[in-house]
Structure 1
Amino acid sequence: MVHVHRTVALCAAGSAMLLGALSGLATPQAQAQAYPADGDRDRRSAAVLGQLVPAADGPGCAAAVGRRGEVVWEEGRGKADLADGRAITPKTVFDLASNSKQFTADAVLLLAGRHQLTLNDPLSRFLDHPPAWTRDVTLGDLMRHTSGIPDYQDLLEAEGVKVTDPAGQQEALTAILASRPQEPPGGHFSYSNSNYVLLAHVVEKVTGKPFPAFLQEEFFTPLRLDMTVSPAADLPGKAKSYDEKDGKYTVNSSPWKQYGDGAVQGTPGELVRWADNYRTGRVGGKRLLDGVTRGAVDVGDALSGRGIEAGRYGAGILVLPDQSLVHRGDWEQFHSTFEVSPDRNTAVAVVCNAEAPDSFRAANRLMDIWSR
Structure 2
Amino acid sequence: MKRVLRIVVAGAALGAVIAAPAVAGPGPFGLQTQLDRVVAASAVGGLAEVRDGHRVWRGTSGTAEWGTTRAVPVNGRFRAGSITKTFVATVVLQLVGAGELRLDDPVEKWLPGVVPNGQNITVRHLLNHTSGLADYQKTLPMPPSPEFFANRWRTWTAAEQIRRAVAEPPVHRTPGEIFDYSNTNYILLGEIIEEITGESYADEVERRVIRPLHLAGTEMPGTSPRIRGPHPRGYIPADESGDNLIDFTEMNPSVFGAGGELITTTADLNRFLTALLTGRLLRPHLLAEMKKPGVPGGRYGLGLTWRDTPCGLRAYGNDGDALTYHSWSFSTPDARHQVSVALTPDFDGDTDDYIGRFLDEALCS
Counterpart for residue 63 of structure 1: 48
Counterpart for residue 270 of structure 1: 268
Q: Please list, as runs of the form range in 1=range in 2, the aligned pairs for 1:1-372 lying within 5 A after superposition.
A: 5=1, 7=2, 42=27, 44-54=30-40, 59-67=44-52, 72-82=56-66, 86-157=70-141, 162-164=147-149, 165=151, 166-170=154-158, 171-179=160-168, 181-184=170-173, 185-226=175-216, 227-231=218-222, 233-236=225-228, 237-243=230-236, 248-252=244-248, 254-257=251-254, 258-298=256-296, 311-320=298-307, 323-341=314-332, 343-355=334-346, 357-358=350-351, 361-362=354-355, 364-365=357-358, 367-369=360-362, 371-372=364-365
Relative to structure 2, which stretch is displaced further, 142-151 or 321-330?
A: 321-330
Q: Deviations over 1:19-49 (max 9, x none)?
A: xxxxxxxxxxxxxxxxxxx997725222222
Relative to structure 2, which stretch is displaced further, 121-130 or 253-262?
A: 253-262
Call closer, same or farther: CA 1:181–1:188 in 2, change over 3 Å. same
Asked if the contact 2:36/2:62 (under 8 Å) is kept, the reply is no
Relative to structure 2, which stretch is displaced further, 327-336 or 105-114?
A: 327-336
Call closer, same or farther: CA 1:177–1:208 in 2, change over 3 Å. farther
Call closer, same or farther: CA 1:370–1:180 in 2, change over 3 Å. closer
Asked if the contact 1:338/1:350 (under 8 Å) is kept, the reply is yes
Counterpart amino acid of residue 338 in structure 2: A
- Once the two structures are TM-superposed, the CA of residue 154 in structure 1 deviates from its matched residue by 2.5
- Once the two structures are TM-superposed, the CA of residue 334 in structure 1 deviates from its matched residue by 0.9
What is the distance in 1 between the residues matched to 2:141 and 2:343? Answer: 26
Call closer, same or farther: CA 1:59–1:126 in 2, change over 3 Å. same
- Once the two structures are TM-superposed, the CA of residue 261 in structure 1 deviates from its matched residue by 0.8
Call closer, same or farther: CA 1:311–1:41 in 2, change over 3 Å. farther
Asked if the contact 1:121/1:139 (under 8 Å) is kept, the reply is yes
Asked if the contact 1:229/1:265 (under 8 Å) is kept, the reply is yes
Call closer, same or farther: CA 1:206–1:67 in 2, change over 3 Å. farther
| 1:324 partner SS | strand
What is the distance in 2 between the residues matched to 1:344 and 1:360? Answer: 24
Asked if the contact 1:64/1:348 (under 8 Å) is kept, the reply is yes
Asked if the contact 1:146/1:188 (under 8 Å) is kept, the reply is yes
| 2:27 partner SS | helix
- Which 5+ residue runs of structure 2 have no aligned equivalent? 5-22
What is the distance in 1 between the residues matched to 2:198 and 2:69? Answer: 43
Task: Provide the aligned C-alpha RMSD in A.
Answer: 3.1
What is the distance in 2 between the residues matched to 1:71 and 1:261? Answer: 32
Call closer, same or farther: CA 1:154–1:52 in 2, change over 3 Å. closer
Q: Deviations over 1:94-138 (max 9, x none)?
A: 000111111111111111111111110011111154445211111
- Once the two structures are TM-superposed, the CA of residue 314 in structure 1 deviates from its matched residue by 0.2
Aligned length: 324
* TM-score, scaled to structure 2: 0.78
Asked if the contact 1:109/1:291 (under 8 Å) is kept, the reply is no
- Once the two structures are TM-superposed, the CA of residue 343 in structure 1 deviates from its matched residue by 4.7
Asked if the contact 2:46/2:60 (under 8 Å) is kept, the reply is yes
- Once the two structures are TM-superposed, the CA of residue 371 in structure 1 deviates from its matched residue by 3.9
Call closer, same or farther: CA 1:208–1:66 in 2, change over 3 Å. farther
- Once the two structures are TM-superposed, the CA of residue 347 in structure 1 deviates from its matched residue by 1.4
What is the distance in 2 between the residues matched to 1:229 and 1:357? Answer: 29
What is the distance in 1 between the residues matched to 2:356 and 2:171? Answer: 35
Q: Deviations over 1:53-89 (max 9, x none)?
A: 349xx82101111345x67111222332348864312
| 2:117 partner SS | helix
- Once the two structures are TM-superposed, the CA of residue 362 in structure 1 deviates from its matched residue by 3.9
- Once the two structures are TM-superposed, the CA of residue 311 in structure 1 deviates from its matched residue by 4.0
* TM-score, scaled to structure 1: 0.76
Call closer, same or farther: CA 1:259–1:61 in 2, change over 3 Å. same
Asked if the contact 1:278/1:344 (under 8 Å) is kept, the reply is no
Counterpart amino acid of residue 27 in structure 2: D
State the percentage of identical aligned residues: 25
Relative to structure 2, which stretch is displaced further, 80-89 or 97-106?
A: 80-89
What is the distance in 1 between the residues matched to 2:189 and 2:75? Answer: 30
